[in-house]
Structure 1
Amino acid sequence: MFSPALRHRQKVLAQLAGDIPDESVAPPEPATDSEAGREYASLRVLLHDNLRKLADVQSIEARNPMKAEMAQAFRPWIDGVLAAGEAGQAAQDEILVTNMIWAIDYRDFDYALRLGAHVLKYNLVLPERYNRTAACFLAEDIATVALAQHEDVTLEQLMRASTLSKDADMPDQARAKLHKAIGRAYERRAETFDPAADNAPAGGKAAFTSEAMTHLARAFELDRNVGVKKDMERVARKLKAMEDATSDDDTGDDGDQE
């Protein structure tokens, strides 16, 4: 659809669109009197046209693959924006922010988190139709998917979302949801633990189970209605069984000694 030359041009212009921002506030959009600003404005027209097309489709299941396809047109620009960000330059960018949101919808969480890191580092804001901060959106929406369809989100992706948003202000209920998702992911990791694996961590299954309890308990601290009581009871029983097994092993070893 787009020639290599055009993709390269968009990436280069995107790198020029940013400025060295005050990281405590949201930066302005690219200046409209620059070539980079004009390219941004042109791509934003395409973005809004895409949003209108999506609004005409009622099925979420049908919209998500459309977003994945539409996102390809913005990749060169976004690559340039991310490169500028690595050099300490940024501008408010509706294109990048919207693509972060879309990536969550079409389940490319690695890409969403890559864009989210830039968004949070430079305090970019979500479009006005969203009434949450970018950090809250990223953490809560990835957690929501993980709780509904845990096979779509890895523990590492959940931890990345937690790390990115750890210092951000958000409702306790949103952060509790993320801890709930992480706790359940650690419990599943414990259940599938293979002690013979090359990358098996120290402490093994018990360590993963303990981490599960830590995050579930934190979720409960933040929101007593988050729905983790049964999870905590189940994990507590598993921890107790492991402690009893260890105690029995120790007792057996002592009995073998003369």
Structure 2
Amino acid sequence: MNQPLIEARQLGKQYGQDIILEGVNTQVHEGEFVTLVGASGCGKSTFLKMILGIEQASSGELLLNGDTIPNEPGPDRGIVFQQYSVFPHMTVLENVIAAKGFQKASLTGYLFGKERRLAQQEATEMLTQVGLSHALKRYPHELSGGMKQRLAIAQAIICKPRILLLDEPFGALDPGIRGDMHTLILDLWKAHNLTIFMVTHDLKEGFHLGTRLWVFDKIRHDPQAPNAYGASITYDLPVGESDTRTYDDLHQQLTHQQQTSEKA
């Protein structure tokens, strides 16, 4: 098999005395779509930030194409958060053009001349793909939550990342809009040959999207010192091949895990 795009080897992360992740071992190949579930604070978002390059390993290794991930974000890794990362003073079209400008190391995000015309054409095409062709001249305050998230996704994908990181991107959206966003992200995943990691608290969403589902949990527990041990990947399931009983068992486990986390 080809070299994995992302590989974790005994990966660990801690802040001071608090251990967040420990002993994470996994491989992900190009084109996979991995959803991450688990209780709040179990290290899912931390793992995404380590792939992005804004958090570094405390122990073990996290590799990109066989090399240690750089200690800073790069154009090969894009991220979309639950909170919309858009510029309020720019129109929808200007927001996406600016994302292209920042990729070219422009401090302001502004492009000029031929570069700007090409970027405008590319941005318009991208916004059409995400269903915002009718809103090019609107400002973010004129958009619904679903439209803002489509804009954030367009900003990330126009930079042509190999890896797209989604940190609960649909958590604040209504169920009907979330369904539309699921269809959109699956279409973009296939159209742009992306490798996707998506954090979600919705187990059904995790089983519906992508190719693999990871459950993050602590293998070791100390009631007297809840942060003495970190989480690891306790389940790595192929999406679409798990039966109803597996879903029910995981749902019960995650509910208990969340309740325990809230009491700690």
- Fold match (TM-score > 0.5): no
Which has the larger share of helix? 1
Greater relative contact order (Cα < 8 A, sep 6+) = 2
TM-score normalised according to structure 2 size: 0.27
TM-score normalised according to structure 1 size: 0.27
Which has the larger share of strand? 2
Considering only CA atoms, is the larger Rg found in Structure 1 or Structure 2? 1
